Amino acid sequence: MRCAYACGSADHGWSRRQFLTGLTASGTLGLFGGGFAGMIHPAAAKELASAQKRVLLIWLNGGVSQLETWDPKPGTNTGGPFRAIPTSVPGIHISELLPHTARQMHHLALVRSINTQENNHAKGAYIMHTGRREQPGMEYPHLGSVMAKLLTAPDNPLPGYIHITPRGDSGFGKQDAAFLGPRYASVTLADGKPPANFSRPEALTDEADQRRNQLRDRLSQRFAQRRRTAETEAYSQSYEQAAQLIARKSIFDLSQESPRDLERYGTHDFGRHCLLARRLLEHGITFVKVSHTNYDTHYDNFDFHLEQLGEFDRTFATLVEDLHQRGLLSSTLVLVMSEFGRTPTINRNYGRDHWGSAWSVALGGCGIQGGAVVGKTNANGTAVVDRMVHGGHLFHTYFRALGLNPHKNHYHNQQPIPMADPTASAIEEVLA
């Protein structure tokens, strides 16, 4: 669902990305077929779970309201019309707009004390994706790219970071891999669909396509002997990754999922996208991001959240339960977040504006203590009163949950760059 009442600010726009720099556009990679077919057997899924860790990020684009989700304040001057309801964890209450998610709370943890001090969409999104504030002359890699590098096996032919976006939204305009390079950049699936020209043209035979690829390979090798650069390496690397991904194109085919699962997840876009996310995680993708838009509710906040969270709630709860039942949740870190929250004060248009000073995220799965709640806001949600944290603390927490050391460095041009903000630390209370 798209809202007609978002702020419309320039920083809220997302520019188009092309899949692996458009290298599949010629159709010459289509000689590959087959790949994975059907659903992974539960026993195989459990074996995969023990061999690989992965991350699922549900990005509620525009800034979901913490008061209508994870930190309700019913009966106060800021609380709005919705009640708080009990969850599967005694003593923890969340908004009545999330009844299905409430039944999964034993798998989830809440951080209710985030203060990023940022009310700008793009800058807030940058903090939540990198764990840093923007700095002149420095681009930090996004969490998906970092995890693609650290968690993806070198011999895994699949891309490490896939972003499933709504219709018309093709993801970040900036290079999310930054200095890590294009190998770890996101592959965007607009509306959850594989890129165009994903198969070989029918008029092109296998034999002709093989000859074309052999010619391309010879020419590339000859060129590289004299003019090898980072750009030519990136081109060859992207081409080979595209080829290997096309060889496994069936992982994008939701028709191989059961009609029952299609119904359970919902026939709306977000339902299809989350079912695809499950399929990708099952088949070895390290980092899957699913965007749900647009929570920028400057007008009619309550009606919008009633409808939009109606899509989110059942689908997200189904996905969490499925990951658990298939033996994947224990090795999959699940994150639900936005660029900021919404103002406790309700404006004259019955909306909530941008609020980075006191808001919440949910996380669960790998390395997370289900049922934990960390931090507290005051009675009407206007300020953090206990365990204030920011994006750097969250980044450290993600690393620790996955068994990684956040104090290690990346190296760019032989210069050490801390993987996580060295001034922050993990939120120990949510770690298992």
User: What percent of the chain is modeled with pLDDT above 90?
Assistant: 68
- Structurally, how many domains does the chain consist of? 1
How far is it between the farthest Cα atoms of the chain? 72
* pLDDT digits 0-9 by tens, 90-126: 999 999 999 999 999 999 999 999 999 999 999 999 9
- Among 101, 102, 99, residue whose Cα is nearest residue 87: 102
Position 73 in a domain: yes
Is the pLDDT at 387 greater than 60? The verdict is yes
Mean pLDDT of 403-430: 96
Is the pLDDT at 63 greater than 60? The verdict is yes
Position 190 in a domain: yes
Is the pLDDT at 384 greater than 90? The verdict is yes
Q: Classify 77 as helix, strand or coil.
A: coil
Is the pLDDT at 334 greater than 80? The verdict is yes
d(C-alpha 117, C-alpha 158), whole Å: 37
Q: What is the dihedral of CA 166, 365, 341, 400, to 10 degrees?
A: -120
Task: Band the pLDDT of 379: cuts 50, 70, 90.
Answer: very high
Is the pLDDT at 269 greater than 70? The verdict is yes
Is the pLDDT at 358 greater than 60? The verdict is yes
Residue with more model confidence, 132 or 50: 132
Is the pLDDT at 41 greater than 60? The verdict is no
Q: Which residues contact 384 (CB under 8 A, 6 or more apart)?
A: 113, 114, 115, 357, 358, 375, 376, 377
Classify residue 131 as left (phi > 0), alpha (psi -120 to 50) or beta.
left
User: What percent of the chain is modeled with pLDDT above 70?
Assistant: 81
Task: Band the pLDDT of 250: cuts 50, 70, 90.
Answer: confident
The DSSP call for residue 6 is S
Is the pLDDT at 152 greater than 50? The verdict is yes
Tell me, what's the pLDDT at 39?
A: 42
Tell me, what's the pLDDT at 198?
A: 65
Tell me, what's the pLDDT at 390?
A: 98
Lowest-confidence range among 86-95, 226-235, 269-278, 338-347? 226-235
Tell me, what's the pLDDT at 116?
A: 98
Position 1 in a domain: no
pTM of model > 0.75 = yes
Tell me, what's the pLDDT at 5?
A: 59
Task: Band the pLDDT of 26: cuts 50, 70, 90.
Answer: very low
* pLDDT digits 0-9 by tens, 230-245: 666 666 666 776 667 7
Query: What is the span of the domain harbouring residue 253?
Result: 10-430
Tokens 């980044």 belong to 395
Position 313 in a domain: yes
Position 4 in a domain: no
Tell me, what's the pLDDT at 6?
A: 67
Tell me, what's the pLDDT at 202?
A: 75
- Out of 48-52, 251-255, 299-303, give the one with best mean pLDDT: 299-303
* pLDDT digits 0-9 by tens, 204-221: 787 887 788 788 778 877
Is the pLDDT at 352 greater than 70? The verdict is yes
First CA to last CA distance, the chain: 36
Tell me, what's the pLDDT at 31?
A: 28
Position 2 in a domain: no
Q: Classify 202 as helix, strand or coil.
A: coil
Tell me, what's the pLDDT at 172?
A: 54
Is 398 exposed, middle or buried, given 0-12, 13-18 or 19+ CB atoms closer than 10 A?
buried
What is the sign, positive or negative, of the torsion defined by CA atoms of 43, 245, 266, 3? positive
Per DSSP bridges, beta strands 373-374 and 54-61 are unpaired
The DSSP call for residue 86 is E
Is the pLDDT at 340 greater than 90? The verdict is yes
* pLDDT digits 0-9 by tens, 164-219: 999 866 555 457 999 998 889 998 999 998 766 666 677 778 788 778 878 877 88
- Among 27, 153, 137, residue whose Cα is nearest residue 415: 137
To the nearest whole number, what is the mean pLDDT of the chain?
86
Residue with more model confidence, 69 or 192: 69
Mean pLDDT of 146-153: 94
Tell me, what's the pLDDT at 336?
A: 98
Residue with more model confidence, 163 or 250: 163
Tell me, what's the pLDDT at 208?
A: 82
Is the pLDDT at 377 greater than 80? The verdict is yes
Position 117 in a domain: yes
Position 30 in a domain: yes
Contact 409, 417 (CB under 8 A): yes
Task: Band the pLDDT of 254: cuts 50, 70, 90.
Answer: very high
Tell me, what's the pLDDT at 201?
A: 74
d(C-alpha 65, C-alpha 72), whole Å: 9
- CATH code for the domain of 230: 3.40.720.10
